[in-house]
Amino acid sequence: MLLPRRLLQALVSILAFLFMACADAASPTAKSGDTRPIAGDIVSAGRLRMQSQRLAKLYQQAGMGLNAAQATQQITASTAEVNAEFSRLGSGPTKANIRRVLSRCESLWQEMRAALKEAPTPAGSERVNQLADELMIHTGKLNLLIEAEAEAPIGRLLDLSSRLNMLSQRLARLYLQAQGGNRSQGVIVDIEQARKEFASGLLELDTARDNTSASRDAIGLARNQWIFFDSAISRLGMTGRGDGTAVQNVATSSERIAQVLDLASSQYARDYSEATRSPR
């Protein structure tokens, strides 16, 4: 009876191994399998965080009459993009803690989306800014939870590039608030803090050892755009007010920097997927 028992034990061990292997392969955070969804989810969460501030910036623009028609069109287009990102994040299997934060983000987005449909007023802008900051905080939490699943250092660079994109839009929004008449100490301090954090984060990305030639090129484009953006922002700090050219430069360069940093994030996602796919 010893031989059959040993065979049975061996069979049980093999079946257990196969079961675990299949479970790992099916998991969206499997160590050697499906790495692409993690990178894609980091990009999606980062876009949600960025769009929270970008949409508030565009709403502020519309209220100021600064490229108002274009800003309104961009709000409509970006609203559809945000809806698509939420659909993407909610379509796959995720852990319970991620689902909870995602649900809170969606609730905030529903409120913000409704507020964005109203004609811009001072009270409306204040409400949109409040919701934008709440959504920024919760999508930031979502980013951290998803990033925790990443295994390669490139995951940190991916998250940082998307955070910088959010900061560029937040900085532009705060600048426009100041130009619109809100010169409170809180706004001025937030502008300077966001400006310093962006500059230091961009330097970290630019000098990261894990950069590939493609991601380094993408960050180079962002650095070039930042020169114009920062120059316009700095006029507010030196004079207490900005001229019309500076305001226009902030509006346009913030859109360009959003584009190039989104390209950088996408490149980091590809780099991350390649790094985790390669044999170790």
Instruction: Quote the radius of gyration of the chain (alpha carbons, Å).
Output: 22
Task: State residue 177's pLDDT score.
Answer: 93
The token pair that represents 157 in the structure block:
């660079």
Tens of pLDDT along the chain (280 residues) come to: 444 554 445 444 434 433 333 333 333 333 434 444 788 999 999 999 999 999 999 999 999 999 999 999 999 999 999 999 999 999 876 789 999 999 999 999 999 999 999 999 999 999 999 999 999 999 999 998 988 876 666 678 888 999 999 999 999 999 999 998 888 889 999 999 999 999 999 999 999 998 989 889 989 999 998 998 998 888 775 554 556 788 888 999 999 999 999 999 999 888 887 777 755 4
CA angle 18/145/217 to nearest 5° reads 100
Query: Residue 63: left (phi > 0), alpha (psi -120 to 50), or beta?
Result: alpha
Cα 83 from Cα 73, distance rounded (Å): 16
Give me the pLDDT at residue 12, please. Answer: 42
Calculate the CA 156 to chain-centre distance: 12
Quote the tokens at residue 107. Answer: 């609730």
